[in-house]
Structures are given as structure tokens and as C-alpha cells.
Amino acid sequence: MSGMTRLPVDDVAGALPEVIDVFIACASFESRCLTLAEHIPGYKVRQAILCENDSLASLTTEFSQRLTDRFANVVTRLVFRRNDPLDVADKLQGALANVAGSGRVIFVDITTFTHEALLILVRLLQLYRRLDDRVYFGYTVATEYSVGAEGGDKWLSKGISEIRSILGYPGENLPSRRVHLLILTGFETERAAKLVDEFEPALVSLGFVTGADTDEIHQLSSRAFQQSFLEKYSSAEVFRFPCYDALATKDAILHQAHRFAEFNLVVAAMNTKISTVGAALAAAEDDRIQLCYAFANEYNYAGYSAPGTSCYVGDVTDLLAATATPRET
Amino acid sequence: MTALAQQNPFSVHTPEDMLAPDVVSLFVDVFTDFYQIPKSGHTFLNGPRGSGKSMMFRYLQADCQCLTLGAQLWDLPFYSAYVPIKNTDLKITELARLHARHADVILNEHIMTTYVAAKVIRSFSTLDITDDNNQFADELRRYYRGDFVSLLDAGGFDTTSLPLIPADASLLAGFRIVGDVLDAIYRKVLLYLRRLSFSPNDLNYSGPLLGYLDFLVPFIQGLKQLSFMPRGPVFLLFDDADNLNDTQTRILNGWVSSRTSGDISIKISTQLAYKTFRTTTGQTIDSPHDFSEVNLSTIYTSSHDKYRDRIAEIVTKRLKNHSLDVSPDIFFPPDSEQENEIQSLAQTLRDRWSQGQGRGFRAGDDAIRYARPEYIRQLRGASKSGHTYSYAGFDQLVHISSGIVRYFLEAASQMYAEQQARMNSGALVTVIPPFIQNKVVREQADRFLFSEFENILKDADEAQLNRAAKLRNLILALGGLFYETLVSDRSERRVFSIAFSDTPDQELRDVFALGIQYGYFHESAIGNKEGTGRTKLYILSRRLAPYFTLDPTSFAGYRFVTSDVIRDAIARPKTFLSRVRNGVINADTLESGQLPLLSQEEL
């Protein structure tokens, strides 16, 4: 189960070590950013690194303040400049380096990071964690996305203002090869379609959610997406991935990569953050894979999601360690 | 017949993925209009997505040219190598680590040079070159061992372990080895970039450095000497160069300024968002001194007949490939009831002219100018009863596609799919009923103005957001104004364009530039009001005609306006339109003696 186990959020504290040396979370416009933080006793946390995006400051103030208050004396706040992945990387790297000692317990609530910031953080943890550090990830499940909207009207984000490769995952796109674009699809039909239009890839692989452990909302969204998308891109290759299992998602991506090894592979993770971690693991294992990020024009700030009562938590140290480190020149 | 014929005849395919026979069978030769493109010399080819740029580039490639001309490779007038600039091929985020710090230009130029050289070599992989005695393969092997190795040596690449091209290797296998070497050089710089991800100070680079003048130019000149190559220039077809980062754009401009067009002509397609025309040294490149420029939408806006003929030829070819020998006018018929009523109004106008009550020089002028507007005017207020203007008919559809081939094809494809869904499985679609044509173009107009505009409006940058909001107001104000003009008693009612009678400031120019970039406006030129020179004409996209209930069939009419009027329309579009309707603003001059002060802008 990829190191992360599903459990009621009320049980999260018991699933973690007695002391958390570093708790990392991202203040968001989603109340889900509070769920795990509010279920960990404050005394357990030695240091908290709270991230937020400067462009969303007006939308995140309340939740940011609540998180700050919760860990009042041990908080380091990192405010990321919009549209600047170097700033994200440098600030996270600096903050992690400033936490003294080895054998640290690092607990990351991955729920509300942007896909891009999360992927950068995962790469940093793979490359720069210290000897005997233990890394735990937590993820709060949503009971509903695009709260209040029905069926095809559901949306999380709209438009693409920029597409860029993700720092730490430049891939190995050789000029002699054609592009294979692989998308882990979610609700975001329009953005995924735009991504395909922008890349005009020679081959498209569309990953749709599967698995007994998958919530019905993900299954429904996937079916709706699949129908509408395949009408337009009838030649796309279809594969399945379990959106709450990073390891199996990694395997699903690598399977597609090996099937079409003669292409440059670009992966866009547009489903749950756990599956995004799966994309990071795949790119670490096969560093020819490039990860890309489609920067959205607009997010559904008012009703992005509703927090559920269960979460995924677990020790992912071995998962991160099992993947390759970058090759040197 | 290839697989294409079995699909929706109007499906839009990525030209890069199309086989040469399909490209040749579908392509409509446009190079009489764009004569600069297949000629020696650097050229910028500007046009929105879907205007046919990539298809032109695909057609220029050697496999298509050999098929079209029935010629061998060496008989072609030029050789083209396709260099697609995809989003994240060259624009790798790690490169930002170098910005303004460390050999930014040199490393970016090395990346671009290697990338282009590899694309040139890759372009041979799709060619079927007859090489009976392995003569060409031998030539390539000698070139590889000689000039190519020397160039790599000079660029700092360790050539001691280069693979050999075996004596019995085919030409294709030889090219594969050259390509592998270039891939290996490219891979080396990618590994360097990977190291930069989280090590901003670890900047030392010890790999080779290849540049345009010291590697790419002599590399291509050497290839040109091989006897299977055409004697003419090599065209480097940079597709979607807007995707280059700022440094790479400046480097490419430097290549354009370097006057190598006799051997190498750089053809650059952009989607009107090219970042800069400055080089890395800060100098600008200019047309026509350094390059020629083709603006697709401008050409088609100023010559509608050429565009109509081109679309008719495209439709005819596609239907023929689908075993349908039918003219576009028959396949896309107009609403006959509506056309009969318009004809009847036209006859009335001709009769009136004969009785001395006309306005034009000829009876036919009045019929053409006023019959359709009059019909639309009569529908005013009737729409609630469900009677609305129909935009069916091939001519109207061509006008509404607004000079962009893909807009026509996408609409036609959707119409075809809808009609097919209504028919028995397996039945052949031989006609698109008018109501389906009308429904699809109306939906597309709504989507263009709302869904697509939302994406622009939500752009993050504060300045852009403000500009986008102003653009939306400008479109609403001008669309409304043109409708009021259409249903007025003015002598010229079919107006779709404006020109400034004064000099608009930078802010207004920026709003129009954004509109042009996203396809809401086209740009052309007309004589200025004083008759002393030329001034810009801004033409509203005909894709919006169904939204504003405008007559899309003529664009001769335009209005001269002042900057103040447009500024007012942008700030308060609803108030502006209501004042036009109420006569507070003179509909002819668009001027008002007393503008009420409003405190709140309608942004």
C-alpha cells in the first residue's frame, strides 16, 4: 500500500511517532489544510514549516493564521513567490537545512501543496534528507470536490496560463524523439485537453482512476472525463492507476514508459497528491521522464473541496530511498 | 486511400503526424499568397493557432515536395528541416538558474544549436532516398569522419570515442549514428541542468559548446555538399517560436541577423506572442532589412475572395477523399426560407432605386448593402418568438471562420458529427442541415466570448488582468455599436472595423494588441482621414457575428473614432451603448457634447 494507510483522521496521532521534529504543511484556500494539523497534539511538533503562496494571501489568511497559532512558538513561515519555482525550491531547501540533527522525523501534510511545490519537496527529500531521517506523508481525503456542483459542472481549475517543466525533473527529451504525453487525469477535463492541444504530442496516454480503495467521487469523475475526452482524442492510449497508491501509480507510469520507450515521455499529474507522489517516484526511478506543470488561470476557491473524515498516513522513507539519485556528468 | 478517409472528413490532425500522401492530398497551395515562404530569405510567419502555419511547414518538407513535384530529393529547389518548439523541450525550468548569472547566452545557444542540428539529421529519417551503390552512404561516412568530427573537436567535444559508421551501413543507418552523437551531446547538457536544480552555485560546465556560426552553419553547409542534397538553401522551420524563453528568442534573432540566408533560411512561425525582436546584444532585427514578414490573418482580411477560394478547395478535397463529389455550397446550404425573404427585400430595394428612391450608384448596390441588414432589423424584437437570424450557408460559414482555417474545420467537424449522430448507422452524410450549421456556429461564438475569455480574464498578472477586462469591455461596446449601426438608417451599415482619427496612446494600443493576440481582432491598414498616409484598421473577429447578430458577409465598412470615444466605451460600455441608442452620442460622428461624469468604471 505504498507506505500510506487509510485511517480515520481521529487516529492520525497514533499512527505517527511520539515526536515530530519537522511538520511541513501548506496553508491553502481549502480547509483541508487544517485537518491533519488539528489532529496532531501541538506538543508533539518540535518545528513547523508552514508554506503559503503570496498570490493567494487574501484567500489563505484565515487558515494560515490558524495553523500559525497552533504551532505558535515553533513556526517557520515560507511565503512562495507566485510563478517562481526556484523560490519554492530555495526556500524549502533552506528551511530543511536549518533543522539541526540527523535521524529526524519529518511529517509532511501533502494535501494542499500545489502539484509543483509538492514535486519539488519530494525531490528535495529524496536528495537531501539526512542519514536516518524518517519521512512520513499524510493526506486528507475529500468527501466532495467542486462542492455543490453536479456532474459535468464540477470544476477545480480553469485555463492554462503557462506550461513548464518541474524543477528537479527536467527529463531527457532528446531531439531525435517524438513526445509522448501522459496525463494522470482527474476532474480537470478542460485543462487536460488544453495540455494536449499545447503539446501536440505524437502519442497521448490517459490514466484513469481505478482500484477498490478509490472513492466513488474519483470513479465518477474518471468515467465522465473518459467519455468526454476520448470522444476528442480517440487514438489515445488508456491505462489505469489507483489514485491513493503512490507505488502502484509509479508502476503504472513506468509500464507506459516502457511500452513506448522510443518516445520522450512528459508526465502531467492532475489527480490526487498521492498519485502525484507516484509520478515523482516514477521520474526518480527513470530520470528520462520529464514532469510538467500546467499553471492554471483560475481555481475554484469557493468550493474546491470538502474535507473528509479519513486520511492516508504512513512512513514513506523506504519509498523515497528506493528511487535512483540523479546521474552526474 | 489512407485511414484519414474513414474518419470525419473535417477532422483536424496535427500536421507533424500526417503522412506525406495525406498532406499532399489535403494541402491547398497558398504560396502564391505567401510567396516569401518557399523562397530564400528569413521569414516570420505570424498567425493565431489554427491558421495553417504548421500545415505549410509540413508541406515544405522534402517527402511532401518530392511527391508534389514528382522529383528526386536532389532536384528539389530547397531542403526543409522541421524544428518544432514544444513547450518544455527547450524551455527547461532549470535554465532560469543561469539567468543573468553564468554563461546564460552561451549555454542556451549550445542547447539550441544541438537541438536544431539533431532535428536536421532526424528530418532524413522519413525520406526514401534511393542509394543503389551505397554511394550516398559513403559520402555521408566521409563527411562524418572529416568535417563533422573537426567541427565537434572545435566545439570541445571529445571525439576519440565517437562511434564509427560501418562501411556497409546504409544511408539511413549512417544518419542514425550522426543523430545518436548529437543526442549524446544534448544529453550531456541536460545532465548539467539536472545538477543545477537544487545547486544554484554549482555552475561549472565542462562539456562541449556549439554555436550557430561556428557549428550549425558549417555543419549544414557540409551536408549541402553531399550529392543527394538539393542545391538550393536549407530552410530551418521553427514552429511555434513563441515557446522559446527570452534568452533563446534573442539568440534566434541573432541568427536571423547574421545574413546566412543564402545557405540557411530561417522560417519562424509564431502565434503572435513572440517575446522580443532584440538580439542578445540589444539590437533589433527589422523587416524588411533582416527578414520578411507574413501575417496570415491580415492577408485574408484584406482579400476575402482568396480565403473563400482556399476554404472551398480544402472542403472539396476533403469531401472527395471521403468519396463525396459535391460542392461546398451544396454541402453547407443556407436557410432557404431566410434567403428567399432576403431576396424579396433585395428586389424591393431594386424597385425603389428604379423609382428614384435609391441611395447607391446602382440598383444592385442597394440590394447588396441593405437587404440583409434590413432583414436583421425586421427580426429585432421578434427573437422572443423564436425567429432568429440563421448563420447557415457556406459563404456565411467562411466569413464567420474569420480567416482561420481551423475555425472553419472545427465547426464543420462538429456539424458533421452531429448530423451523423442523427442518421442511421453507416449512412453517408451528404448535406449539413442549416439548423445544425446555425446551432454550432452560435455555440462557438458564445464559447469564444465567454469560456475562452474567462481564461484570459483570470490571468494572474495584475496589469494583464486589467488589460483583459478592458478588452472585454471594448469587444462588448464595439459589437453593440456595430449592431446598432447595422439596424440604423446610415448609408453604410455593415461595419465591423474602426480606425483612429488621432493617435491612440500606449494603453489603448496594448488593449488592441491583446485582442489581436487572442484572435478577437485582426489588424489591417487604410488611408488616414486626412489622406496623408496610412493608419491601422482594427477589425472585430467575424467569429463573434452570431453573438452580436451582425451580418458577417461584408467588412468594407469602418468607422473613424477618436481615442476619447474608445476610452469612454472601454470604461463604460453599457452607458456608451445606451447613449448611442438614445442619440446622446451622435451615431454618425460618435461624438457627444456633454458626457455625464460617472464615478464608477464598469470594469
> What are A275-320's pLDDT values in tens digits?
999 999 999 999 999 999 887 766 766 666 777 789 999 999 998 8
Question: What's the confidence (pLDDT) of residue B50?
Answer: 82
Whole-angstrom CA distances from A50 to A30, A78, A100, B580 are 15, 6, 17, 55
Q: Which three cell numbers stand for residue A57?
A: 494571501
Is there a contact between A298 and B458 (Cβ–Cβ < 8 Å)?
yes
What's the rounded mean pLDDT across residues B545-559? 83
User: What fold characterizes domain A5-146+304-321?
Assistant: Rossmann fold (3.40.50)
Dihedral sign from CA coordinates of B348, B350, B356, B361: positive
Q: Do B190 and A172 touch (CB under 8 A)?
A: yes
Q: How does residue A59 score in pLDDT terms, banded at 50, 70 and 90?
A: confident
SS3 annotation, B339-399? HHHHHHHHHHHHHHHHCCCCCCCCHHHHHHHHHHHHHHHHHCCCHHHCCCCCCCCHHHHHH
Is there a contact between B354 and B347 (Cβ–Cβ < 8 Å)?
no
Q: List the helix and strand counts (H, then E) for chain A.
A: 9, 13
Q: Do A174 and B186 touch (CB under 8 A)?
A: yes
User: Counting one residue from A and one from B, how many pairs have CB atoms under 8 Å apart?
Assistant: 122
Question: What's the confidence (pLDDT) of residue B457?
Answer: 64
Higher pLDDT, B478 or B51: B478
Q: How far apart are CA B559 and CA B561, in angstroms?
A: 6
Q: Which three cell numbers stand for residue B208?
A: 562541449
Q: How far apart are CA B4 and CA B546, in angstroms?
A: 31
Q: Judging by beta carbons within 10 Å of its beta carbon (0-12, 13-18, 19+), is residue B316 exposed, middle or buried?
A: middle
Q: Is the pLDDT of residue B440 over 70?
A: yes
Question: What's the confidence (pLDDT) of residue A262?
Answer: 93
Nearest to A112 by CA among A104, A103, A121: A121
Q: How far apart are CA B341 and CA B324, in angstroms?
A: 31
Percent of chain A with pLDDT over 90: 54
Task: Give one DSSP letter per residue of B525-555, joined into a string.
Answer: EEE-TTSSSEEEEEEE-GGGHHHHT--TT--
Question: What's the confidence (pLDDT) of residue A236?
Answer: 87
Higher pLDDT, B356 or B52: B52
Q: Is the pLDDT of residue B596 over 50?
A: no
Q: Do B89 and A158 touch (CB under 8 A)?
A: no
Whole-angstrom CA distances from B75 to B35, B230, B233 are 20, 6, 12
What's the rounded mean pLDDT across residues A83-88? 92
Q: List the helix and strand counts (H, then E) for chain B.
A: 23, 9
Q: Do A127 and B188 touch (CB under 8 A)?
A: no
Q: Do B193 and A170 touch (CB under 8 A)?
A: yes
Phi first, then psi, for residue A150 (nearest 5°) are -110, 145
Cβ–Cβ contact B158 with A under 8 A: no
- Name which CATH class applies to A151-299: alpha beta
Question: What's the confidence (pLDDT) of residue B248?
Answer: 95
Q: Is the pLDDT of residue A151 over 60?
A: yes
Residue A313 CB contacts under 8 Å (≥ 6 apart), including other chains = A4, A5, A7, A12, A15, A16, A36, A136, A137, A138, A139
How many residues would you count in chain A?
329
Cβ–Cβ contact A292 with B under 8 A: yes
Q: Is the pLDDT of residue B595 over 70?
A: no
Q: Which three cell numbers stand for residue B281?
A: 546584444
Q: Is the pLDDT of residue B234 over 90?
A: yes
Q: Is the pLDDT of residue B4 over 50?
A: no
Question: What's the confidence (pLDDT) of residue B559?
Answer: 81
| Residue given cell 539550441 in the structure block | B112
Q: How far apart are CA A142 and CA A300, in angstroms?
A: 15
Q: How many CB atoms lie within 10 A of CB B381?
A: 8
Three-class SS state of A108: strand
A105-114, A156-165, B515-524 — which is least confidently predicted? A156-165
Q: Do A176 and B118 touch (CB under 8 A)?
A: yes
Q: How does residue B209 score in pLDDT terms, banded at 50, 70 and 90?
A: very high
What's the rounded mean pLDDT across residues B314-322? 91
Chain A residue nearest residue B17, CA to CA: A202
Query: Half-sphere exposure of residue B15, counting CA atoms within 13 Å on the CB side?
Result: 23
Q: Which residues 205-234 of B are in CB contact (within 8 Å) with A?
A: 206-207
A309-323, B219-233, B372-386, B435-449 — which is least confidently predicted? B372-386
Percent of chain B with pLDDT over 70: 91
Q: Do B197 and A164 touch (CB under 8 A)?
A: no
Whether omega before A17 lies within 30 degrees of 0, making that bond cis, reads no
Phi first, then psi, for residue B595 (nearest 5°) are -90, 120
Query: Over the range A260-273, which residues count as b (16 or more CB within 10 Å of their CB) and which as e?
Result: beebbbbbbbbbbb
Cβ–Cβ contact A164 with B under 8 A: yes
Looking at beta carbons, which residues of chain B come within 8 Å of A168? 197-198
Strands B534-540 and B521-527: antiparallel
Is there a contact between B124 and B79 (Cβ–Cβ < 8 Å)?
no
Q: Which three cell numbers stand for residue B97?
A: 538558474
Q: How far apart are CA A6 and CA A101, in angstroms?
A: 30
8-state DSSP, A181: E
User: Of B84, B88, B191, which is closest to A163 when you measure between CB atoms?
Assistant: B88
What's the rounded mean pLDDT across residues B381-403? 81
Three-class SS state of B292: strand
What's the rounded mean pLDDT across residues B240-248? 93
Q: How does residue B556 score in pLDDT terms, banded at 50, 70 and 90?
A: low
Question: What's the confidence (pLDDT) of residue B292?
Answer: 93
Q: Is the pLDDT of residue B455 over 80?
A: no
Looking at beta carbons, which residues of chain A come within 8 Å of B96? 85-86
Is there a contact between B584 and B590 (Cβ–Cβ < 8 Å)?
no
What's the rounded mean pLDDT across residues A75-83? 90
| Residue given cell 536544480 in the structure block | B197
Question: How near does any CA of chain B get to the CA of A181, in Å?
Answer: 11
pLDDT 10s digits, A228-274: 677 777 788 999 999 999 999 999 999 999 999 999 999 999 999 99
Cβ–Cβ contact A172 with B under 8 A: yes
Query: Over the range B288-312, which residues count as b (16 or more CB within 10 Å of their CB) and which as e?
Result: eebbbebbbbbbbbbebeebbebbb
Q: Do B190 and A198 touch (CB under 8 A)?
A: no
Cα of A75 vs its chain's centroid, Å: 23
Q: Which residues 101-140 of B are in CB contact (within 8 Å) with A?
A: 114-115, 118-119, 121-122
* CA-CA-CA-CA dihedral for A117, A120, A121, A124, to nearest 10: -160
Question: What's the confidence (pLDDT) of residue B301?
Answer: 54
8-state DSSP, B153: H
Q: What is the residue-averaged pLDDT of chain B? A: 86
What's the rounded mean pLDDT across residues B518-538? 80
Mutate to test the interface with A, among B7, B54, B88, B94 (most CBs of A within 10 A): B88
ipTM of the assembly? 0.89
Q: Do A329 and B192 touch (CB under 8 A)?
A: yes
Cα of A118 vs its chain's centroid, Å: 5
Looking at beta carbons, which residues of chain B come within 8 Å of A327? 191, 194
Q: Domain ranges in chain A?
A: 5-146+304-321, 151-299
Q: Do A164 and B91 touch (CB under 8 A)?
A: yes
Q: Is the pLDDT of residue B584 over 60?
A: yes
What's the rounded mean pLDDT across residues B554-560? 74
8-state DSSP, A54: G
What's the rounded mean pLDDT across residues B463-481? 84
pLDDT 10s digits, B144-197: 999 999 999 999 999 998 999 999 999 999 999 999 999 999 999 999 999 889
Q: How far apart are CA A208 and CA B219, in angstroms?
A: 46
Q: Is the pLDDT of residue A187 over 80?
A: no
Question: What's the confidence (pLDDT) of residue B260?
Answer: 82
Is there a contact between B271 and B240 (Cβ–Cβ < 8 Å)?
yes
pLDDT 10s digits, B491-511: 778 888 888 888 888 889 989
Q: Is the pLDDT of residue B242 over 50?
A: yes
Question: Could you check whether A5-146+304-321 and A151-299 share the same CATH topology?
Answer: yes
Q: Is the pLDDT of residue B597 over 60?
A: no
Q: How far apart are CA A117 and CA A124, in angstroms?
A: 11
Residue B132 CB contacts under 8 Å (≥ 6 apart), including other chains = none
What's the rounded mean pLDDT across residues B512-517? 86
Q: Which residues pair with B557 in a beta bridge?
A: B495
A315-324, B245-254, B268-277 — which is least confidently predicted? A315-324
Question: What's the confidence (pLDDT) of residue B365?
Answer: 74
Q: Is the pLDDT of residue B26 over 50?
A: yes
Task: Give one DSSP letter per residue of A158-198, joined into a string.
Answer: EEEEEEEEPTT------TTS-EEEEEE--S-HHHHHHHHHH
8-state DSSP, B25: H
How many residues would you count in chain B?
603
Q: Is B445 left (phi over 0), alpha (psi -120 to 50) or beta?
A: alpha
Question: What's the confidence (pLDDT) of residue B490?
Answer: 78
Maximum average pLDDT range among A11-25, A137-151, A300-314: A11-25
Nearest to B345 by CA among B390, B313, B379, B321: B379
Q: Is the pLDDT of residue B602 over 80?
A: no
Q: How does residue B336 score in pLDDT terms, banded at 50, 70 and 90?
A: very high
User: Of B88, B97, B187, which is closest to A266 when you measure between CB atoms?
Assistant: B88
Question: What's the confidence (pLDDT) of residue B11?
Answer: 82
What's the rounded mean pLDDT across residues B71-91? 92
User: Of A86, A164, A287, which is closest to B88 when you measure between CB atoms?
Assistant: A164
pLDDT 10s digits, A115-129: 999 999 999 999 888
Q: Judging by beta carbons within 10 Å of its beta carbon (0-12, 13-18, 19+), is residue B227 exposed, middle or buried?
A: exposed
